[in-house]
Structure 1
Amino acid sequence: MARLWFRFAAMNAGKTSSLLQVAHNYEENGEQVLLLTSALDDRAGHGVIASRIGLQREAMTYDTRTDFLALLQDVTVACVLIDEAQFLTVEQVTQLHRWVHIRNVPVMCFGLRSDFQGRAFPGAAALLTLADNLEEIRTACRCGKKATMNIRVDESGNRMREGDQVLIGGNGRYRQVCSRCFYS
């Protein structure tokens, strides 16, 4: 039975490289996968899934208007892999959950659980509710404890506590931290 997966972590935990490894494993076995990433994330170029360790692949993009039931209607693949899944809408997560269970094809979503203010992204909250499998990918805070939160920093490295929920910027703008460091 196919499942909707949500593999989540703080920044810099290897979510994207893990997604690319899953794609490679399927393809090594002669299977086709569909790679999707948010149109918001164009750090490596539009329609590119890129990890910080240098791995990258071209992918289709989605935005808040994407209807996944329509997009996936005639798709024949062994697995759908979605990067930056925190940017999915609640309705899109519902569509993916439905599609998995009607088509019996797994969908694996990789993304953040919360933003730099400790608030859930709507797509992540929906995935935490509907996903059949939840898996945390672990990373460490600078203090050595398990990082579960993210903070945003300005150009000088000072922590920012206000601002838009979404500001694409990667390693230079965000740091992963443990809960203790998040609140101190």
Structure 2
Amino acid sequence: MAQLFFEYGAMNSGKSIEILKVAHNYESQGKNILLMTPAADTRSGTGIVSSRIGLERPAVAIQKADNLFDIVKHHQTNLAAVLIDEAQFLFPEQVDQLAQVVDELHIPAMAFGLKQDAFNQLFPGSKRLIEMADKLEEMKTICAFCGKKAITQLRIVDGEPQREGQQVFIGGDEAYIPTCRHHWYHPDMAKISDLFPKEGK
């Protein structure tokens, strides 16, 4: 039975590696998948799913106005699964369209992304996925400061923690560090200085 899945985790939890692995597993069995990613994620170029270990492949770039049900219906011939990377950037109505894909087209939809932003607020897309998904699964990683489970990520701008600002700030290892709750509030500034030197130093 088709289901809507949401696999979430902090930065560096291996979400993009996992989605590429899932895509490979389907295709190695001769099954067709539709790989998609929001156009808002431009770290490796628009419409590219890329992992930190260097694996990447092209994907359908989701625009703000796109109806995901219509896109999947257009591609649905022999489609075994729909895979969405960086699902936190989906709009809530697009999550509802994914649910419609599952319920009406009977195609599994698997979304991978962050649960919350760098200010510990839910992304709108993630919030709707938590509300609508048939299955939620957490992907774990460790705090860069203490090794405990990371539940969030700290944004670093010019060598300093940033706890307010725009919700969407595209960046990778040069801008974010996974942390536990304690170290989000009380980061090791000496380690931050080593990892994120201030501009001009």
With structure 2 as the length reference, what TM-score do the two structures score?
0.89
How far apart, in 2, do the equivalents of 1:89 and 1:65 lie?
9
Asked if the contact 1:86/1:111 (under 8 Å) is kept, the reply is: yes
Q: Which has the larger radius of gyration?
A: 2
With structure 1 as the length reference, what TM-score do the two structures score?
0.97
RMSD: 0.9
Indicate the residue corresponding to 1:94 in structure 2.
Answer: 96
- String of CA shifts for 1:12-54, please: whole Å, max 9, x gaps: 1100000000000000000011110110111111211100011
- The unaligned stretches of length 5 or more in structure 2 are 187-201
How far apart, in 2, do the equivalents of 1:183 and 1:33 lie?
41
1:102 Cα deviation from its structure 2 partner:
1.1
Count of aligned positions: 183
Asked if the contact 2:153/2:178 (under 8 Å) is kept, the reply is: yes
1:155 Cα deviation from its structure 2 partner:
2.8
- String of CA shifts for 1:137-179, please: whole Å, max 9, x gaps: 00000211100111100132x1011110001011110111011
Indicate the residue corresponding to 1:30 in structure 2.
Answer: 30
Question: Per chain length, whose mean CA-contact separation is higher, i.e. which structure has more relative contact order (CA < 8 Å, sep 6+)?
Answer: 1
Indicate the residue corresponding to 1:121 in structure 2.
Answer: 123
Identity among equivalent pairs (%)? 45
Asked if the contact 2:82/2:110 (under 8 Å) is kept, the reply is: yes
Asked if the contact 1:63/1:88 (under 8 Å) is kept, the reply is: no
Q: Please list every run of at least 4 consecutive aligned residues from structure 1 whose deviation after the TM superposition is greater than 4 angstroms.
A: none
